[in-house]
Each structure stands twice: as structure tokens, then as C-alpha cells.
Amino acid sequence: AQSVAQPEDQVNVAEGNPLTVKCTYSVSGNPYLFWYVQYPNRGLQFLLKYITGDNLVKGSYGFEAEFNKSQTSFHLKKPSALVSDSALYFCAGLTGGGNKLTFGTGTQLKVEL
Amino acid sequence: DGGITQSPKYLFRKEGQNVTLSCEQNLNHDAMYWYRQDPGQGLRLIYYSQIVNDFQKGDIAEGYSVSREKKESFPLTVTSAQKNPTAFYLCASRVSGASTDTQYFGPGTRLTVL
């Protein structure tokens, strides 16, 4: 079965510290992976995606993600967290022959002063 | 959210009623999607459409119906057969040239059954 997992329901980090939101995947063929962010009662906003090429992908708002094939992971990172980064983050993988996104269950990020 | 609109933002329904959620996009995207979001479960695919007059069931299509008569519009009807319709519904669209193109999401409709 093809799936995407986010092992942490919530991540807490102090403002100014680096943050990591974890994602692991299990998909057949080449993995195409995405990160989205959701603020309360809003739609999802696209942050970045990995299709092929460099394992370090840079995205919006200073976020980046590291693709690791041996560990089947695609962790989201930011060098210095902001309070405004507090939101729900979703990892997703392309499945169904490229027609469907399969989402993880989401990780609530809380950045505190 | 820009380019994809969903209405209404909040919708209340009595049990036994059908309701239709609107999704419109002005991005000239070929593919459109409907997802349901429940707390702690992520997003689950209800229906998707890759071209006008064609659509496929997603993972949780029972109790829902869609139409795709125009490229820019993909309305979702939540029927009385859907046993637990209270949820946050999200519409998305994608340029269909390559499967790896990004899906972009609308602002969502929160449906509550009274």
C-alpha cells in the first residue's frame, strides 16, 4: 500500500530555534512528495515539492525539505522558527498513477516566544 | 487561495437534506479535486475530474456526487446517504499537463449537520 506518515501529532519549538517536521513515505516507483501548510479555517497552501534532482528542496517562507531515499523520509525544516509559522503541516505523496495525492495525518506546529 | 473560490464558507444542513458546495477556478486548470478533512485524519479524496464531462471516484465517494459541465466549475453534492457529513470540504485544481504539477487549494467550506 502506498502511504505517507507523519509520526508526530504536535511539535513545539521556541522562536528562533530550528524546526523539523517529520514525514516518511511508502510509495512504489519514483516518489513525488509535497508539503503544505494550513492556517485555522483556511485552505492548504503549497510550500514545496520533490520531484527529482537535488535532495534538498527549498520552498516558500524560508522552509526547506530534505529527501532521503535510504530512510524513505522527507522532513520539513526551517533554520529559525517564527511564531507566525504556527500552523498545521501536511506531507503528501503522489499515488494512483499520478492522479491522486495521499496525505499524512498532519502535524500541528506550535512556535512559542 | 487565489484563483479558486468555494462557497459558502459555512453551511448548515438538516439531516435528510441534500446540499451542494460550489467550487470555481479561474486558473484554466484541467484537473479538479474534492477532499474531506476531519480532525486527526488528514485529507481524504472524494472525487476528481481530469477533463470536462469526466470524473472518477476517490477513496470515500459514497454519499457524494459531482458534475463537471464546465472547465472552471466542479460542484459537490452531499446527499442524505452520507451518514456523517459534518466536515471541512476542500476543493483543489491542477494543471493536467504533468502528473507532478502542484495541486492548489481553495479556502474550504465547513459543513455542519444539525
Mutation for A interface: B33, B43, B55, B88, most A CBs within 10 A: B43
pLDDT more than 90, % of chain A: 79
Q: Which residues of B4-103 form beta strands (DSSP E)?
A: 4-7, 10-13, 19-25, 31-37, 43-51, 54-57, 64-66, 76-78, 87-94
Q: How confident is the model at residue A53 (pLDDT cuts 50, 70, 90)?
A: confident
**CA A1, CA A88: separation in Å to the nearest integer?**
25
Angle at the Cα of B106 (from B104 to B108), degrees rounded to 5?
140
Interface with chain B: mutation pick from A36, A37, A100, highest number of B CBs within 10 Å: A100
Angle at B20 between CA B19 and CA B23, to 5 degrees: 155
Q: For the segment A70-85, what is each residue's pLDDT rounded down to a tens digit? A: 999 999 999 999 999 9
Positive or negative, the Cα torsion across B67, B107, A105, A103? positive
Q: Which residue of A has its CA nearest to B40?
A: A105
Binned at pLDDT 50, 70 and 90, residue A105 comes out as very high
Separation CA A22–CA B39 (nearest Å): 19
Tens-of-pLDDT digits for all 114 residues of chain B? 459 999 999 999 998 899 999 999 999 999 999 999 998 888 999 999 999 999 999 999 999 999 999 999 999 999 988 889 999 999 999 987 666 789 999 999 999 998
Answer whether residue A48 shows pLDDT above 80. Answer: yes
Number of other CB atoms surrounding residue A54 within 10 Å: 9
Q: Give the CA distances from residue A109 to residues A10, A24, A91, B50, in Å, rounded to whole numbers and listed in that order.
A: 6, 17, 13, 34
Question: Please, which residues have CB within 8 angstroms of residue B46's CB and are 6 or more apart in sequence?
Answer: B34, B35, B36, B58, B59, B60, B61, B64, B66, B76, B89
Distance from CA of A106 to the nearest CA of B (A): 6
Query: In the prediction, which pLDDT does B97 show?
Result: 64
In whole angstroms, give the CA distance from residue A34 to residue A62. Answer: 15
| Nearest alpha carbon to residue B7 among B70, B91, B103 | B91
Provide the pLDDT for residue B78: 96
**Per-residue pLDDT tens for B20-50?**
999 999 999 999 999 999 988 889 999 999 9
Query: How many DSSP H helices and E strands does chain B contain?
Result: 0, 11
Distance CA B35, CA B42 (A): 10
Q: Half-sphere exposure (CA, 13 Å, Cβ side) for B64?
A: 26
Most B-contacting residue of A34, A51, A90, A101 (CB-CB within 10 A), to test interface: A101
Give the confidence band of A97 by pLDDT, cuts at 50, 70, 90.
low
Residues of chain A positioned with their CB less than 8 A from the CB of B88: 41
Interface of A with B in 1-60 (CB under 8 A): 9, 32, 34, 36, 41-46, 49, 51
Q: Coil, strand or helix: which one is A84?
A: helix
Q: Is A55 helix (H, G, I), strand (E, B) or coil?
A: coil
B residues 75-94 lying closer than 8 A (beta carbon) to A: 88, 90, 92
